[in-house]
Amino acid sequence: MVKLENNINKLIQMELASSEQNSMLLQELMNQGEQNLDTLDRVADRLLDTMIGITNAGEKVYRQYLDYIETFNPVEAKERKDELEYDLGYKNHVLYAAAMLCQKELDGHNSIGGNSSFSFVIQHYIPKVFDAKKKAATFLLFAHLANGRSVDELMRMLQTITEETDYVLAHVDEFEDLMYFPREIYHPLREDEWQLIKYIVEHNLEIINTNEGQRKELMCKVFGIQ
């Protein structure tokens, strides 16, 4: 146990030292007016690694970096700021809320193999999606397929659960395979982010509904409906 604690302390010190060094380098590049993103990112990416590591160090300087990018490439800066909110876990509460909602809606449903439909979804479909908002939309898609609730109603339910931060955090361990861990601090989603999740659900639902063979296969695998 002592050896493990010592190793962790060493990692923490290494991360802090790396964060301090890369923060200084990045600040120097910004002071010089560097605008080549490849050059800037070689330093900024190392700083980002420490932000999502053990110490979470370097966030203040990294956000200053994004503000700096905004002065000459506002579109790129916005995309990166949006991604950062999920990379650091400030908005991942929506993913866990979607998982809880899907689990509730799929309760009592079993896959063709006899396992719970929710377990089948989280094992076979969610890992194929590589974005927190898209994963949340996938959970909502299966919630709709389970009981036929409207997408609008599911979105209202999702928003209500997401904003109950303490409730979401209390259930994180039940969905540890998701790996997009939320912070204790929650940054509310913007309206366009909610609309994007809704659009993804509706778009995927339209694809399924216009392909009868795909829909039958999906309902058979996930819900055991022949």
Question: According to the model, what pLDDT value does residue 181 have?
Answer: 86
pLDDT digits (tens, 9 = 90+) for 29-78: 999 999 999 999 999 999 888 887 656 678 999 999 999 999 999 999 99
- Quote the pLDDT of residue 9: 72
User: Could you state, in order of their start, the residue ranges of all structural domains in the chain?
Assistant: 2-87, 93-223
**In this model, does residue 187 exceed pLDDT 70?**
yes
Q: What is the mean predicted confidence (pLDDT) over 202-215?
A: 93
Instruction: Give the mean pLDDT of the chain.
Output: 91
Query: For the range 162-170, what are the long-range contacts, defined as Cβ-Cβ under 8 Å and sequence gap of 24 or more?
Result: 162/93, 162/94, 162/97, 162/186, 162/189, 163/188, 164/97, 165/93, 168/93, 168/96, 168/97, 168/100, 169/93
The end-to-end CA distance of the chain, in Å, is 53
- Look at the pTM and tell me if it is higher than 0.85: yes
Q: What is the pLDDT of residue 21?
A: 92
* Nearest alpha carbon to residue 54 among 84, 82, 27, 18: 18
Q: Using 50, 70 and 90 to split pLDDT, how confident is the model at 179?
A: confident
